[in-house]
Homo-oligomer: A and B are copies of this chain.
Amino acid sequence: MKLIQEQEKRIEAWMKKIKHKIVVMSGKGGVGKSTVAANLAIALALRGRPNLVGVLDADITGPSIPKILGVKGQTLRAGPPGIFPAIGPLGIKVVSMDFLLESDDLPVIWRGPLKSSAIRQFLSDVAWGELEFLIVDLPPGTGDEALSIMQLIKGIDGVIVVTIPSDVSQMVVRKAITFTRKLNAPLIGVLENMSGFICPKCGAEIDIFMRGGGERISRDLKAPFLGRIPLDPRICEDSDKGVPFIIEHPDSPAAKAFMEIVEKVEKFLGEKEESVK
């Protein structure tokens, strides 16, 4: 018990040094949460100040942030203040279970309490240092990882909920919005990913995963709508190469749509700051 209290004190101390804590979640898997989290980190880091952005990959059994940010293969070193995060592009600090696994083939066969304890350590024992933004990438579901993050990080600034347009996805993602509200975390808004596809050959617009689902959730649940990002094969290609698509393809409609969403997120954080003053 004493250990847990000490741990929570350390978490509180670290989190106080971080100006904005943003959570990216969905409830549903495979909707592009990690791609959104990674590109949001890059967009914020592009401001160019030092010690700007950290990313915590809270997906213990399926970590993919290091691959998408191109920092795979790094290991976490430990020093007197704690474990040092890996350093990604633009100085982004990254912590992920992936750094602790010897090979991609190795599964993390852990029940909830162990996963929660890993998240506790990522928050309490990592020397995050002073940061302007910490972005937490949650795994699918509204279970252990999501609960631990929401309960351990006091003063989360906001949650971005990612969905794809389909009804099946909406059904699950609605739960994430109620989850956020039940845990009293501010909702930044809903982002519709993989929204429509434009054939690169003929220009035809095809709704592979339907369209408009994100807006429907926003309307039904009275949640802000952040925007939609079209499907683009280059997004997947860039993630596989470990180069964020907003850097690799800044002029693509997807990157432009994403940057508009980032502006809304920044506005949300700014507004929140104002209202506290």
A109: Cβ under 8 A from any B Cβ = yes
A206: Cβ under 8 A from any B Cβ = yes
**When the two chains form their complex, are residues B171 and A140 in contact, meaning their CB atoms are under 8 A apart?**
no
Contact size range, A = 35 or more
Set of chain B residues within 8 Å of A208, measured between Cβ atoms: 197, 208, 231, 233, 236
**When the two chains form their complex, are residues A105 and B174 in contact, meaning their CB atoms are under 8 A apart?**
yes
A106: Cβ under 8 A from any B Cβ = yes
A182: Cβ under 8 A from any B Cβ = yes
Q: Compute how far the CA of A246 lies from the CA of B143 in the bound complex, rounded to whole angstroms.
A: 33
Can you identify 24 A-B contacts, CB atoms within 8 angstroms? A27-B61, A29-B139, A29-B140, A30-B164, A104-B171, A105-B175, A107-B179, A109-B182, A109-B183, A110-B142, A111-B112, A111-B147, A112-B115, A143-B144, A166-B239, A167-B240, A197-B208, A199-B201, A200-B204, A202-B204, A208-B233, A208-B236, A209-B236, A210-B233
